[in-house]
Chains A and B, each alone.
Chain A
Amino acid sequence: MNRRQFLIGSGVVVSASAVRPMAARAQAPRGQIIAGLSERMLTLDPANHYSISATSVLRHIYDPLLDVTNDDKFVPALAESWRSVNNTTWKFTLRKGVTFHDGTPFNADSVVYTLKRVKDGKLIKSFVYQDIEEVTKDGDYAVTVTTKRPFGSLPAHLTMLGMLPPIAAGTEDAFFQKPVGTGPFRFVSWTHGDHIELAANPKYWKPGVPKVEKVTVRFITELSTRAAALRAGEIHVIDRVSPDMVQTLKGTPGVKVLDTPAVEAQRWHFQLARDNVKDPRVRKAISLAIDRNVIIKDLLLGYARPVVNPVPPGLIGHVNLGQKPYDPEKAKALLKQAGQSNLTIDFVLMKDLYPKQLEIAQAVAAMLGEVGVKVNIRNLEIATAREQRTAGNYDLFFSGWAHMPHDPDWYFGQWFTKAGAEKMTRFNDPKVEQLIAEGRVPDPKVRQQKYEEIERILWEDEPEIWPYYSVAIYAVSDKLRNFEARRDYYVLLSEVGIA
């Protein structure tokens, strides 16, 4: 592959034409949208959280360098284009004429400050950016990022990092009380634990955006309360609807239910150092004894998708490896072969974290009981469950993985490298580790090939059970126009209008 092919193949040279030129005079923003989100927001600092709700809300105030579309394409935001110069160097060309809400211009200094702050600081997202070596400006509107090792998923991670003005440096505490970004909405106020108010940014760089004058996001953690507020017409959109609630909402006049396959795969991981499940035949038997279709159809009422690969469709590396079969007879035979006739396993759950998880675990216990495996369900408070995992006190752990940056590098790097899995699953396979390292290069073709190879090994070895891909369910008022049910659970309202 020559340099030209490499650059084209990397798929990251994106023209600024993806953004519509200013055509006819855009319609002025009109009306107000009120959203009800499931998760509390803890901070207005885009680098100091890993909350999906906060990412959603803060995307309205700050712009990242790149955006990701619902079909997993990376498109320009504050970076008009980007490319990998070599395996450890990225170049970003920045959008001109963009200003922060306080009127200061957005330029390379903002990017240098934002990236260095997260790389060098003790912030929640700092660990993601530890591979960055240096961030330098090439003039006012270009930035070069060099990395310590290949960091092919950097553009994907940057979709989750809002750009800050350099004036925030040294005064972060005060700045994040009343932050300014370049986003489609300006921050107005935040009543902690209750709601945040945003007002349209009249000078937003994207023509015709935003569509409404005001957005209020309320934080309503109880689903029944969220749904009641929507049904009462108090709010216009809610996220994280459970399958059980769908019929009630569908039956409410003026309410629509939207769903889409999420970027989340449920993955219940084994503690691979435990004698009970160390033997791949035992893990395979457990997998064969679980009827995934029953879970999907009867417990999740169809709001889940069968798994055909550890990585959900749409993400780089995904290839259809076929569904895992349900074959209790074969499971029994494998258990017999492995000499495990009276197997008992501890199945640890993080209390109330995933929809219907206890019912699902109970169904799995019954299914495994059919092949002679006794399951101890331990439904523990989240912090305790995680502590138990670190200590290795589990056989199977109920968990999911939302590929938030729309890229599986983090998942592979965390769960299938010795260092990452050491205090988690105790996974250790040098071959997989090598493939993960090789798959970190920016070249998407190489990444696809390496990831496919990793997935085939994992699919065969079954260090995890992949029961289903989650479905993201939203309910919205029929007054909303152009609302998109996002795969990443975001509620994005800048291009949404209201009748």
Chain B
Amino acid sequence: MRAYLLRRLWQSALTLVGVSLFVFVILRVIPGDPAKMLLPEGAPESAVQELNRALGLKEPLWVQYGIFLRSVARGDFGQSFQYRAPALRVVVERAPATIELALCAMLLTVLFGVSIGILAAVRRGTGYDYAGTVLAVLGQSLPNFWLGIMLILLFGVSLRWLPTSGFQGWQYLILPSITLAAFPTALVARLTRSSLLEILGQEYIRTGRAKGLGERAVILRHALRNATIPLLTLLGLQIGTLLGGAVITESIFAWPGMGKLVVDAIFFRDFPVVQTVLILSATIFVAINLLVDLLYTVLDPRIRYG
């Protein structure tokens, strides 16, 4: 197990260096000049060149990358071009908003996704199943921006029950969380339903029922536990995506998270911020993947890593 863990950690470190190199190079290869984006349109070319020099962009690419790697090793991700502040600080300031939204959306996803999936599976072919399917299809097909705007217009503007946008308290979380959770909830519901249906047809479920176990115990203790493995993989990937920031939801709800930050940073060619967000996101992804793989062993004793 320890050897496995060490191997995975080493692979993770390599992955992250690869990501950093890829991000670093791709940002500098795509057209677009950071200084031109910072200066007003029509600033003289001399000012553009001077600013690029001040931003350290006149050095050869490999020198820039070397400086970057050395700085990152010291925990310094460089100065944001736009904010003129440490990029890590700029990103970390946005992290709480992103984490709150991601966790809240994940909670809704698990709660509603799994519940709808179980209901649809155990009442297969009934109205519950059809309603669950319709909801899942809607959740997967409604565009986020449309759903978000509709929720704002209904609950914010017409009914005035909830704030339309911003980040100033728990009630501000509700509409963006629902918007963000719609798609993964649908995925989870469908996966739960199909996994459960497959498991419910297995011999050991029949055995369980034959020995007089209650239906609740059969479903929750035996069937659901086995259906959790593919579900966990899906949730792991989803939470990685959510923590990386949800651009559209954040834009619609003026949510000051990392998704909007990174998109603006890409548009404005704020290399240090893009690099920081992507490297942190990659780290989160890698860590969650590792965690999910380790969780398999807890959920299914047959899985062992050597």
Contact = CB atoms under 8 A, between A and B. Distances in A.
User: Does B bind A?
Assistant: yes
A228 B253 CA distance: 10
B54 A225 contact: no
Contact of A411 (B42, B94, B268, B269): B42
Interface residues of A, number: 48
Contacts of A228: 149, 152-153, 156-157, 164-165
Q: Which of B33, B42, B50 has the most CB of A within 10 A?
A: B42
A86 interface: no
B31 A382 contact: no
B42 A124 contact: no
B254 A388 contact: no
B90 interface: yes
A402 to B, nearest CB: 9
Contacts of B254: 194, 218-222, 225, 229
A221 B251 CA distance: 7
A477 B214 CA distance: 61
A225 B252 CA distance: 6
B42 A401 contact: yes
Interface in B219-243: none
Contact of A127 (B43, B85, B152, B157): B43
Contacts, number: 137
Nearest to B264: A40
Contacts of B149: 224, 228
Main SS at interface, chain A: mixed
Nearest to A388: B31
Contacts of A221: 251, 254, 260
B256 A229 contact: no
Contacts of A50: 39-40
A124 B264 CA distance: 18
B84 interface: yes
A420 B260 CA distance: 34
Contacts of A323: none
Contact of B164 (A191, A195, A234): A234
A383 B38 contact: no
Nearest to A126: B47
A233 B37 contact: no
Contact of A225 (B82, B83, B85, B253): B253
A218 B163 CA distance: 13
Contacts of B38: 124
Contacts of A447: none
Interface in B64-98: 82-85, 90, 93-94, 97
B36 interface: yes
A257 B85 CA distance: 38
B167 interface: yes
B90 to A, nearest CB: 7
B267 interface: yes
A399 to B, nearest CB: 7
Nearest to A231: B157
A233 B159 CA distance: 12
Nearest to B90: A192
Interface in A405-445: 410-411, 414-415, 419-420, 422-424
Contacts of A229: 156, 164-166, 254
**B interface residue count range (under 10 / 10 to 19 / 20 to 34 / 35 or more):** 35 or more
A390 B52 CA distance: 15
B182 to A, nearest CB: 18
Given A127-B47, A228-B153, A383 B37 contact: yes
B166 A386 contact: no
Contact of B82 (A42, A127, A401): A42
B160 interface: yes
B33 A420 contact: no
B44 A419 contact: yes
Nearest to B156: A232
B33 A390 contact: yes
A384 interface: yes
A387 B84 contact: no
A420 B42 contact: yes
A56 to B, nearest CB: 15
Contacts of A388: 31
A48 B36 contact: no
Interface in A33-74: 40, 42-43, 45, 48, 50
A125 to B, nearest CB: 9
B267 A383 contact: yes
B18 interface: no
Nearest to A414: B42
Contacts of A127: 39, 43-44, 46-47, 50
A178 interface: no
A229 B252 CA distance: 11
Q: Which of B43, B90, B164, B253 has the most CB of A within 10 A?
A: B164
Interface in A150-177: 173
Contact of B251 (A42, A222, A231): A222
Nearest to B258: A193
B41 interface: yes
B160 A233 contact: yes
B176 to A, nearest CB: 11
A122 interface: yes
B94 to A, nearest CB: 6
B44 A387 contact: no
B247 to A, nearest CB: 12
Given A43-B83, A228-B157, A193 B45 contact: no
Given A40-B264, A228-B152, A414-B44, A220 B39 contact: no
Interface string B155-187: 011001001111110000000000000000000
A116 B46 CA distance: 20
A124 B163 contact: no
A195 B47 CA distance: 31
A484 B132 CA distance: 53
Nearest to A350: B41
Interface in A268-319: none
B169 to A, nearest CB: 12
Interface in B257-300: 257, 260-261, 264, 267-269
25 contacts: A42-B84, A48-B84, A126-B47, A192-B93, A193-B93, A194-B168, A218-B254, A221-B251, A222-B251, A224-B149, A225-B251, A228-B152, A229-B164, A231-B157, A232-B157, A383-B36, A383-B37, A383-B267, A386-B32, A386-B36, A401-B42, A414-B43, A415-B42, A419-B44, A420-B42
Given A222-B251, A225-B254, 8 more contacts: A42-B83, A45-B84, A122-B51, A127-B47, A225-B252, A228-B164, A383-B37, A386-B33
Q: 9 shortest A-B CB distances, which residue pairs?
A: A383-B32, A193-B256, A127-B47, A50-B40, A387-B31, A194-B256, A414-B42, A220-B254, A228-B164
